[in-house]
Amino acid sequence: MKNVAAALIINGGHILLTRRAPGENLAGYWEFPGGKQELGETIQQCAQRELEEELSLPSIAGEVFMESIYRYEGGAINLVGVLVEAQRGPLTLTVHDRAEWIPISQLMQYELAPADIPIAEKLAKIYG
Ligand SMILES: Nc1nc2c([nH]c(=O)n2[C@@H]2O[C@H](COP(=O)(O)OP(=O)(O)OP(=O)(O)O)[C@@H](O)[C@H]2O)c(=O)[nH]1
């Protein structure tokens, strides 16, 4: 099963969400930025690499917050929510069509990728 890093970047009660662009898998759904873990990297290195690739965002990844296994038609993924430190600043979108810092209390109002929902629920309970 593939591990996918989901970067959980919390800043002043807000969290960064990105929206998958038209034409992509799960287009239009909001997700935590991240992507598939590559051979030889830790899940933290994966989160940092993906943030750099997708948003040109320097970051420091820390602890795993929660894992969520989800079975899509194309196969199962283990979505690994990793707590990440990054500054709020300009973002360069390369694969998403939107990126927003949203209040954690509003997380459940967004149309999230299904694998993200258990992680979002736990975030809302703890930080919302
Ligand atoms: N990045 C990210 N992917 C997610 C989340 N939730 C979720 O189900 N996924 C799924 O996990 C997979 C991650 O693939 P990706 O396309 O973002 O990652 P990648 O850049 O490494 O993949 P690629 O090079 O094959 O395109 C996709 O199937 C995506 O739909 C999430 O919160 N963040």
Domain that holds residue 106: 2-88+95-127
What is the number of domains present in the chain? 1
- Ligand 1 site, residue 31, Cβ cutoff 6 A: yes
> What local confidence, expressed as pLDDT, does residue 74 receive?
85
CA of 50 from ligand 1 middle (Å) equals: 10
- Ligand 1 site, residue 15, Cβ cutoff 6 A: no
Query: Which amino acid is it at 90?
Result: P
Which CATH number characterizes residue 34's domain?
Answer: 3.90.79.10
> What local confidence, expressed as pLDDT, does residue 128 receive?
85
- Ligand 1 site, residue 54, Cβ cutoff 6 A: no
Interface ipTM: 0.90
**Residues 46-68: pLDDT tens digits?**
999 999 999 999 999 999 999 99
